[in-house]
């Protein structure tokens, strides 16, 4: 199987041209686990197929698998790399693309460098979803957890969004936290760490799985641990559902930006510093408005791997 290794701010995936490589659908999950293995495979945070589509309103489909073989609905860094792949490999000459992932269309603008290769990608990620059932986060289990934590029923910390999970108190792994839950096509729980907690030494390996697999989140969750620098900048580490800690998460950067604005911590445009670089996101605070994400996409190498 021919493949290309790419990354967005260190969030790396193996990319496969689905029009050229005929991989049976029932083999893709196992293949994702194999190629993602950093000792016995190529090494990546997952596997992404770039598929042709028959709908004339869509240019390509992104079919994404996590490192553990589970399907994922969306990856912000991944979709930027898909856009770079199709342009750089001359599968299209369009600089404005529509790419679908899990049935959701994303609108993409490419910036082309002097070498006629994509240098950066801007993605309209769509409007954030805050309704708990759609994130999803279980309202009943959240209320039960919050009552255990605070002795009272949870209510939103932002009166403009009374049904949303904003700065909600929860107890996870015997510790008290506050979460803001956002879907950007996939579920996110954003946690703002207190001033006395150092983000660099924060034990994400210990607490990340506890969030991911908590009963509050029926489809598991990605979790962002955030320190706010100022009104336009934050630092974030992410534990990704089905993968573990990654160097970046595009949808996580979007969810972090939304959470910052909902909690009144930043302005509308935020540089999100992740372990692998910087992703810039903006949102105007209106639930009808899209989150705009912009960042790099990098090709590492191309190769061929033997598969069963």
Alpha carbons 41 and 31: distance in angstroms, whole number: 10
The SS3 of residue 250 is: helix
User: Can you tell me whether residue 50 is helix, strand or coil?
Assistant: strand
What are 138-144's contacts with CB under 8 Å, separation 24+?
Answer: 138/215, 138/216, 138/217, 138/218, 141/215, 141/216, 142/168, 142/170, 142/216
Enumerate the H helices of the chain as residue ranges. Answer: 28-36, 76-88, 139-150, 204-212, 250-262
Round to whole Å and give the CA distance between 128 and 75: 14
Yes or no: say if 202 and 225 are a contact pair by the CB < 8 Å rule: yes
Select which of 75, 181, 260, 281 is catalytic: 75
Reply yes or no on whether 281 is catalytic: no
Q: Which residues pair with 239 in a beta bridge?
A: 223, 245
- Residue 249 designated active-site: yes
Strands 233-240 and 46-51 turn out to be unpaired
Give the C-alpha separation, 208 to 158, whole Å.
Answer: 26
d(CA 211, CA 167): 15
Among candidate residues 9, 81, 181, 249, the one labeled active-site is 249
Q: Which of 256, 209, 207 is nearest to 235 (CA)?
A: 256
Name the residues annotated as catalytic.
75, 249
């Amino acid at each position: 199987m021919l493949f290309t290794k790419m990354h967005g701010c260190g969030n790396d995936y193996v990319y496969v041209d689905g029009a050229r490589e005929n991989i049976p659908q029932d083999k893709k999950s196992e293949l994702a686990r194999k190629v993602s293995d950093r000792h016995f495979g190529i090494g990546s945070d997952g596997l992404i197929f770039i598929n042709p589509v028959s709908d004339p309103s869509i240019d390509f489909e992104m079919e994404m698998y996590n490192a553990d073989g589970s399907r994922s609905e969306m990856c912000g860094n991944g979709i930027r790399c898909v856009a770079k792949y199709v342009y750089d490999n001359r599968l299209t000459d369009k600089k404005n693309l529509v790419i679908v992932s899990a049935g959701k269309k994303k609108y993409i603008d490419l910036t082309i460098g002097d070498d006629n290769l994509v240098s950066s990608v801007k993605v309209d990620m769509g409007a954030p979803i805050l309704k708990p059932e759609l994130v999803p986060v279980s309202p009943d289990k959240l209320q039960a957890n919050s009552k255990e934590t605070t002795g009272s029923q949870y209510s939103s910390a932002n009166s403009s969004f009374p049904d949303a999970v904003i700065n909600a108190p929860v107890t996870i792994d015997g510790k008290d936290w506050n979460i803001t839950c956002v879907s950007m096509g996939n579920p996110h729980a954003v946690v703002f760490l207190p001033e006395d907690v150092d983000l660099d030494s924060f034990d994400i390996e210990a607490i990340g799985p506890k969030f991911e697999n908590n009963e509050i989140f029926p489809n598991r969750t990605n979790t962002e641990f955030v320190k706010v620098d100022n009104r336009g900048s934050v630092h974030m580490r992410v534990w990704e559902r089905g993968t573990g800690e990654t160097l970046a998460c595009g949808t996580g950067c979007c969810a972090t930006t939304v959470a910052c604005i909902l909690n009144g911590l930043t302005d509308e445009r935020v540089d999100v510093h992740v372990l692998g670089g910087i992703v810039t996101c903006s949102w105007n605070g209106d639930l009808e408005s899209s989150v705009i994400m912009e960042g790099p996409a990098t090709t590492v190498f191309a190769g061929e791997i033997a598969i069963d």
